[in-house]
Amino acid sequence: MHSGSGSPTYVLMNGAGVTLEGWRPLYPGIERLGTVFAWNRQGLGRSARPRSRQTGALVVASLRELLAYAGLAPPYVLVGHSLGGLHANLFARLHPAEVAGVALIEATHPDDCGRLREHEGRLAGVLARLLAVPAAWLRPNLHAELACALDTARQVEAAGPFPPVPLVVVSGGQTPPRWLMSPEALELKQARQRALAALSPLGEQVIAQASGHFPQRTQPELVLDVLRRLADSVTSARGAAV
């Protein structure tokens, strides 16, 4: 999906097993800030089934081809949710000159990936309730994407450093139920979210107090405000570089 006009271009990167419909509440607001580009990775929604494993490097390469086909030139503001945040992290490291800013929304930290497969069934149930769809619809795509997450994490670690661009990490402030996440796991997750914000000297963290894993659905205005402020930071950073 490509809508809006002007600069910057906001590239919306979905979480595991989730289609671009998950961003629907944000479209009108982002269109007032610039151009919106959202797409479904292969195997999601109506996209074709992938012929090879969708590791982050392949996802990033496919995304760059689609952006070029759409006539959308860099630099971009990457907006990644959950696994899409891991892909945004990799994109920024592989192609720093093409990235003006990054928003990571409840993003997957590379160190999270080793245990994602262990929680696949519970993740499918949670996503199904949030998106109001049967869990059986989500499981095949979720399984395929989580199977590649550890490889993507290794690609992030092997790539260059994260660029010194404006970065905002949005983290859900609600405490998940103990059956989903133990207090120790929650503390570790919170530390990793802080570590993501520290990737850039221009990084900051925003806590979405009324949200869990989907702030863009439960607090869309907060996320839009983050993107507005990120746009201002991008403009300021560009001005300082001139």
Report whether 162 contacts 92 (CB < 8 A).
Answer: yes
Report the pLDDT value the prediction gives residue 55, as an integer from 0 to 100: 87
Which CATH class, in words, describes the domain spanning 2-83+93-241? Answer: alpha beta
| Domains of the chain, residue spans | 2-83+93-241
The lowest-confidence range among 14-18, 43-47, 98-102 is 43-47
Tell how far CA 152 is from the center of its chain: 14
Q: What is the pLDDT of residues 127-171, one digit of tens each?
A: 435 444 444 444 455 556 666 677 888 999 999 999 999 999 999
The lowest-confidence range among 58-72, 106-120, 174-188, 210-224 is 106-120
Q: What does pTM read for this prediction?
A: 0.85
DSSP state of 198: T
Q: Which of 175 and 137 is assigned the larger pLDDT?
A: 175
Report the pLDDT value the prediction gives residue 48, as an integer from 0 to 100: 52
Give the tokens for residue 154: 């290794």
As a whole number, mean pLDDT of residues 111-136 equals 51
Cα of first residue to Cα of last residue in the chain, in angstroms, is 32
Report the pLDDT value the prediction gives residue 158, as an integer from 0 to 100: 94
| pLDDT above 70: residue 239 | no
DSSP character string of 75-127: PEEEEEETHHHHHHHHHHHH-GGGEEEEEEESPPPGGGGGGTGGGHHHHHHHH
Report the pLDDT value the prediction gives residue 25, as an integer from 0 to 100: 84
Report the pLDDT value the prediction gives residue 120, as an integer from 0 to 100: 44
Q: What is the pLDDT of residues 48-100, one digit of tens each?
A: 555 656 788 999 999 999 999 999 999 999 999 998 999 999 999 999 999 99
Q: What is the pLDDT of residues 177-207, one digit of tens each?
A: 887 788 998 899 999 999 999 999 999 999 9
Report the pLDDT value the prediction gives residue 240, as an integer from 0 to 100: 65
Report the pLDDT value the prediction gives residue 137, as an integer from 0 to 100: 42
